[in-house]
A and B are shown apart, each in its own frame.
Chain A
Amino acid sequence: MAEAVVTVDRITKRFAGHTAVRDLSLSIPAGGIFGLLGPNGAGKSTTIRMILNILVPDSGSVRLFGDQVAARDLSARLGYLPEERGLYRKMRVLDQLAFLGEIRGLRRLDSVRRARTWLERLGLGDWTRKKVEDLSKGMQQKVQFIGSLLHDPELVVLDEPFSGLDPVNSQIMKDVVVEIAREGRTVLFSTHIMEQAERMCDRVAIIARGEKVLDGALSEVKHDFGTRHVALVFTRNQASAAKILRDPTLVARADDYGGSAEVELPSDGNPDRLLRALVEADVGLSRFEIVEPSLQSIFIAKVGAEAAVAPAREEVHA
Chain B
Amino acid sequence: MRKFLAVVTREFRERVRTRAFVISTVLIPLFFTLMIAGQIILSTRGAGTWRIAVVDAAQGSFGARVEAALREVKVGSGAVAPQKYQVERISIAPGRIDAVKDSLIPLIGKREEVPGKLDGFLLVTEDGLASGEIPYFGGNVGSLSEMDNLQTSLRPVVLTERLVREGVEPDAVQQASGGVELVTSKITDGKLTGESGESSFFLVYVMTLMMYFALLFYGIQVMSSVLEEKTSRIVEVLASSVTPFQLMLGKVVGVASVGLFQLGIWAMAGLYLTANVAPILSILHMSSDAAKGVQLPTVTLPLLLVFLLFFVLGFFLFSSMYAAVGAMCNSQQDANQTQHPVTIGIVLGLMTMFPLMNDPNSSLARTLSLIPFTAPFATPIRYSVSPLPLLELVLSILSTIAGVLIMCWIASRIYRIGILAYGKRPGLAELWRWVRTA
A residues near B (Cβ < 8 Å) are 49, 52-56, 71-72, 75, 78, 80, 82, 84-91, 95, 99-100, 102-105, 108, 144, 147-148, 315-318
Contacts of B437 in A (CB 8 A): 318
Given A82-B233, A86-B233, A318-B421, 15 additional A-B pairs, CB 8 A = A55-B420, A72-B241, A75-B240, A84-B236, A86-B235, A87-B232, A88-B228, A95-B13, A99-B10, A100-B237, A102-B10, A104-B241, A147-B237, A316-B420, A316-B422
- Proximity string of chain B (217-237) to chain A, C-beta cutoff 8 Å, 1 when within and 0 when not: 000000000001100111111
Task: Report the minimum CB–CB distance from B224 to chain A (whole Å).
Answer: 11
Known contacts being A317-B423, A318-B421, is A82 close to B236, with CB within 8 Å? Answer: yes
Please give me the residue from chain A that is nearest to B5 by CB atom. Answer: A102
Task: Give complex CA distance A102, B4 in Å.
Answer: 10
Assess whether B433 is in contact with A318, with CB atoms less than 8 Å apart.
yes
Known contacts being A87-B234, A102-B3, is A317 close to B421, with CB within 8 Å? Answer: yes
User: Taking chain A's interface residues, is the majority helix, strand, or loop, or is none over half, making it mixed?
Assistant: loop
B residues near A (Cβ < 8 Å) are 2-3, 6-7, 10, 13-14, 18, 228-229, 232-243, 417, 420-423, 426, 430, 433-434, 437-438
Contacts of B239 in A (CB 8 A): 54
Known contacts being A78-B240, A80-B237, A105-B3, is A316 close to B232, with CB within 8 Å? Answer: no
Contacts of B7 in A (CB 8 A): 103
Point out the residue from B234, B243, B417, B422 that lies within 8 Å of A88, measured CB to CB.
Answer: B234
Task: Report the minimum CB–CB distance from B9 to chain A (whole Å).
Answer: 8
Contacts of B420 in A (CB 8 A): 49, 54-55, 316
Task: Give complex CA distance A84, B422 in Å.
Answer: 12
Instruction: Tell me how many residue pairs across A and B have CB atoms closer than 8 Å.
Output: 89
Task: Give complex CA distance A86, B239 in Å.
Answer: 13
Assess whether A71 is in contact with B10, with CB atoms less than 8 Å apart.
no
Please give me the residue from chain B that is nearest to A56 by CB atom. Answer: B438
Contacts of A318 in B (CB 8 A): 417, 421, 426, 430, 433-434, 437
Assess whether A105 is in contact with B232, with CB atoms less than 8 Å apart.
no
Task: Report the minimum CB–CB distance from A53 to chain B (whole Å).
Answer: 7
Assess whether A84 is in contact with B6, with CB atoms less than 8 Å apart.
no
Point out the residue from B241, B422, B426, B434 that lies within 8 Å of A103, measured CB to CB.
Answer: B241
Contacts of A104 in B (CB 8 A): 241
Known contacts being A54-B239, A105-B3, is A85 close to B233, with CB within 8 Å? Answer: yes
Task: Give complex CA distance A89, B420 in Å.
Answer: 19
Point out the residue from B10, B240, B430, B434 that lies within 8 Å of A52, measured CB to CB.
Answer: B240
Task: Give complex CA distance A148, B237 in Å.
Answer: 9
Point out the residue from A56, A75, A88, A89 that lies within 8 Å of B241, measured CB to CB.
Answer: A75
Task: Report the minimum CB–CB distance from B261 to chain A (whole Å).
Answer: 19
Assess whether A72 is in contact with B422, with CB atoms less than 8 Å apart.
no
Contacts of B236 in A (CB 8 A): 49, 54, 80, 82, 84, 86
Point out the residue from B10, B232, B438 that lies within 8 Å of A89, measured CB to CB.
Answer: B232
Task: Give complex CA distance A78, B3 in Å.
Answer: 15
24 example contacts (A-B, Cβ-Cβ < 8 A) are as follows A54-B236, A54-B240, A55-B420, A72-B241, A72-B243, A75-B240, A78-B241, A80-B236, A86-B236, A88-B14, A88-B228, A88-B229, A88-B232, A95-B14, A102-B3, A102-B6, A104-B241, A105-B3, A316-B420, A317-B421, A317-B423, A318-B426, A318-B430, A318-B437
Contacts of B3 in A (CB 8 A): 75, 102-103, 105
- Among A53, A54, A84, A103, max chain B CB count under 10 A is at A103
Task: Give complex CA distance A84, B237 in Å.
Answer: 10
Contacts of A86 in B (CB 8 A): 229, 232-237
Known contacts being A86-B234, A105-B3, is A72 close to B240, with CB within 8 Å? Answer: yes
Contacts of A315 in B (CB 8 A): 422-423
Task: Give complex CA distance A49, B233 in Å.
Answer: 13
Contacts of A90 in B (CB 8 A): 14, 18
Point out the residue from B18, B240, B417, B430 that lies within 8 Å of A71, measured CB to CB.
Answer: B240
Task: Report the minimum CB–CB distance from B97 to chain A (whole Å).
Answer: 73
Task: Give complex CA distance A95, B12 in Å.
Answer: 13
Assess whether B242 is in contact with A103, with CB atoms less than 8 Å apart.
yes
Contacts of A100 in B (CB 8 A): 237
Contacts of A85 in B (CB 8 A): 233
Task: Report the minimum CB–CB distance from B5 to chain A (whole Å).
Answer: 8
Task: Report the minimum CB–CB distance from A84 to chain B (whole Å).
Answer: 4
Please give me the residue from chain B that is nearest to A108 by CB atom. Answer: B6
Task: Give complex CA distance A88, B242 in Å.
Answer: 16
Contacts of A84 in B (CB 8 A): 233, 236
Contacts of B417 in A (CB 8 A): 318
Task: Report the minimum CB–CB distance from B388 to chain A (whole Å).
Answer: 43
- Among B3, B243, B426, B438, max chain A CB count under 10 A is at B3
Point out the residue from B240, B421, B426 that lies within 8 Å of A53, measured CB to CB.
Answer: B240
Task: Give complex CA distance A84, B6 in Å.
Answer: 23
Task: Report the minimum CB–CB distance from A199 to chain B (whole Å).
Answer: 27
- Among A88, A148, A316, A318, max chain B CB count under 10 A is at A318
Task: Report the minimum CB–CB distance from B358 to chain A (whole Å).
Answer: 46
Please give me the residue from chain B that is nearest to A84 by CB atom. Answer: B233
Point out the residue from A72, A102, A148 that lies within 8 Å of B2, measured CB to CB.
Answer: A102
Assess whether A82 is in contact with B237, with CB atoms less than 8 Å apart.
yes
Contacts of A108 in B (CB 8 A): 6
Contacts of A87 in B (CB 8 A): 232, 234
Task: Give complex CA distance A105, B1 in Å.
Answer: 9
Contacts of B423 in A (CB 8 A): 315-317
Task: Give complex CA distance A108, B13 in Å.
Answer: 13
Contacts of B438 in A (CB 8 A): 56
- For the complex of A and B, the 3 pairs showing the least CB-CB separation, nearest first, are A86-B233, A102-B6, A84-B233
Task: Give complex CA distance A87, B229 in Å.
Answer: 8
Contacts of A103 in B (CB 8 A): 3, 6-7, 238, 241-242
